[in-house]
Amino acid sequence: MDGAGPWRRLASIALTALPFAALVLLWWLLRETGLINPGLLPSPWAVFGKFWTGLTQGELGLNILMSLQRVLAGLLLGTAAAVPVGFLIGWYRPVGRLVDPLINFFRALPPIALIPLVIVYLGIGEIAKVAILFYASFFAAVIVMYEGMAAISPIYVRVARTLGATDLEIFWRVMVPLTVPHMLVALRVALGVCWATLVAAELVAAQEGLGAMIQNASSFFDLTTIYLGIICIGTLALLMDMALRRLSARLVAWQDKVGA
């Protein structure tokens, strides 16, 4: 049984890498067969060479670090604010019915549309960029938390009240543990939204960052750098999401045991 563990992990890694290998092969074939003009589609090897050069001799590492800092700041602040708000409107149903239209109104607004107002009120510094990511992550996470709270069966609350639990005990000992999975889902959803909003956030006079790198490259029609920036954003988002999934599996393992 012990010897099967490494092989199982290796098979899992291979299964994860297979679709990406197929995508790279398709990319190469599209260029080499001439179905897409080679001048409009850089080769995978050119993008990899750009990555290595940028990482060892250029500013790619700094751009990655700046984007990571902004995403993490917006994600953590937005989720930290969304969790208690989601609890509030999920726990008190009349409050939820009152603010639900307002939350859905703001959630539907694209963050890029708010950039002019953000610049007016917050300037063009780091606070403005983080504010855009905060906005995006907050409304994505609060919807997940609200729906998660609403989906919890009332029977748990009734049983706790039957056993003499107070409202405060029900909240901390029943509702909070039951909503941990929803918190983690909210964090994952907000993470994806933050990375999707990064390029818009870095429209605010950013000099460093992957979004700024893509925008600067577009001014010079540098398709290799544009592809590199897109791949870096997708890879970082995927790695962070995989880390959150592993964390979720550890934190909510008790649910599987209870379900079994």
Query: Rounded to two decimals, what is the model's pTM?
Result: 0.84
Q: Is the pLDDT of residue 101 over 80?
A: yes
| Residue with the two structure tokens 């639900």 | 100
Tokens of 194: 């933050």
CA 192 to chain centre: 2
Highest mean pLDDT among 34-38, 46-50, 55-59, 167-171: 46-50
pLDDT in tens, 146-198: 888 777 777 877 888 888 877 777 777 877 778 888 888 889 999 999 998 88
pLDDT in the model for residue 130: 92
Cα 200 from Cα 155, distance rounded (Å): 44
pLDDT in the model for residue 1: 47
Q: Is the pLDDT of residue 255 over 60?
A: no
Cα 96 from Cα 31, distance rounded (Å): 52
Domain ranges for the chain:
1-41, 44-259
Higher pLDDT, 100 or 60: 60
| Superfamily designation of domain 44-259 | MetI-like (1.10.3720.10)
Mean pLDDT for 98-106 is 85
**Inter-residue long-range contacts of 21-28, CB under 8 Å, 24+ positions, other chains counted:** none
**Residue 209 — left, alpha, or beta (φ > 0 → left; ψ -120 to 50 → alpha)?**
left
